[in-house]
């Protein structure tokens, strides 16, 4: 089992002369620090790394944010940063289904992932490569917001902009093939931008005004085909 988290940081300011980290994420960061930066003091007797710390966790039920019941239904996932976490579970589940039911028909799968720097923030890079190679993941689209580019035309820096590049595919999956669209991550700085992008795509591809496109998106939400697991 693995999980990822962002470390909440509060920089120093006139009202707070000393910077500090979040109570929970700061504590978690201290727990994993010996694993990330091992020393002789943290090595076990056999050269490994040991810890006596225990973390009590509990599952938070989510009755809607899961794989489509119909494995042949296509779906798209948007999860920048730590928002990718549930989608790794989705893909692991899909891979298991593909192994156990070789006669089933499986719909295409899309993942839009973004982070700041490719060399140090690209979570689950090796796992995603394996999912692509074995066919569990059909399409992987990535972007990096802080990396410089030497291309004549700069690539998109944010997932909502990458989604716009695949407007026809988004419209096809949602409108023609009865597919699903999942979004996980920060609401204010990402999820709202993704929903705006989808509204623009629906408006353009269906040749309707923005208000009508917003109504169509509302219907998709009601049908549980446009799903979000977001935080602010």
In a domain? residue 66: no
pLDDT (0 to 100) of residue 41: 57
In a domain? residue 67: no
Number of domains in the chain: 2
Do both 86 and 135 map to the same domain? yes
In a domain? residue 156: yes
Do both 9 and 52 map to the same domain? yes
CATH of residue 117's domain is 3.40.50.80
In a domain? residue 10: yes
Do both 22 and 127 map to the same domain? no
Do both 26 and 104 map to the same domain? no
Do both 45 and 83 map to the same domain? no
SS3 assignment for the chain: CCCCCCCCEECCECCECCCEECHHHHHHHHHHHHHHCCCHHHECCCCCECCCCCCCCCCCCCCCCCCCCCCCCCEEEECCHHHHHHHHHHHHHHHHHHHHCCCCCCCCEEEEEEECCHHHHCCCHHHHHHHHHCCCCCEEEEEECCCCCCCCCCCCCCHHHHHHHCHHHHHHHHHHCCCEEEEEEEHHHHHHHHHHHHHHHHHHHHCCCHHHHHHHHHHHHHCCCEEEEEEC
pLDDT at 129 > cutoff 70: yes
What pTM value is reported for the model?
A: 0.86
Do both 150 and 46 map to the same domain? no
**For residue 51, what pLDDT band results from cuts at 50, 70 and 90?**
low
pLDDT (0 to 100) of residue 7: 78
pLDDT at 136 > cutoff 90: yes
pLDDT in tens, 81-121: 999 999 999 999 999 999 999 999 999 999 999 999 999 99
Average pLDDT over the chain, rounded to an integer: 90
pLDDT at 159 > cutoff 70: yes
Domain limits for position 132: 75-231
Do both 54 and 121 map to the same domain? no
**For residue 48, what pLDDT band results from cuts at 50, 70 and 90?**
low
pLDDT at 189 > cutoff 80: yes
pLDDT (0 to 100) of residue 6: 76
Do both 109 and 200 map to the same domain? yes
pLDDT (0 to 100) of residue 60: 79
Do both 88 and 189 map to the same domain? yes
In a domain? residue 65: no
């Amino acid at each position: 089992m693995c999980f990822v988290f962002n470390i909440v940081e509060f920089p120093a300011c006139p009202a707070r002369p000393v910077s500090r980290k979040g109570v929970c994420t700061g504590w978690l960061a201290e727990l994993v620090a010996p694993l990330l930066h091992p020393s002789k003091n943290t090595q076990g007797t056999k050269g490994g790394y040991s810890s006596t710390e225990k973390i009590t966790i509990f599952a938070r039920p989510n009755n809607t944010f899961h794989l489509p019941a119909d494995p042949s239904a296509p779906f798209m996932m948007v999860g920048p940063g730590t928002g990718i976490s549930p989608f790794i579970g989705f893909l692991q589940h899909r891979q298991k289904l593909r192994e156990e039911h070789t006669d089933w028909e499986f719909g295409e799968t899309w993942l839009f992932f973004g982070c700041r720097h490719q060399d140090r923030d690209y979570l689950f890079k090796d796992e995603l490569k394996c999912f692509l190679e074995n066919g569990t993941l059909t399409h992987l689209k990535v972007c990096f917001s802080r990396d410089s580019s030497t291309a004549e035309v700069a690539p998109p820096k944010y997932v909502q902009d990458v989604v716009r590049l695949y407007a026809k595919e988004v419209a096809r999956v949602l409108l023609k093939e009865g597919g699903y669209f999942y979004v996980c991550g920060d609401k204010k700085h990402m999820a709202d931008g993704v929903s705006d992008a989808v509204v623009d795509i629906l408006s353009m591809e269906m040749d309707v005004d923005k208000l009508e496109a917003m109504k169509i998106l509302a219907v998709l939400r009601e049908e549980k085909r446009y799903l979000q697991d977001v935080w602010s």
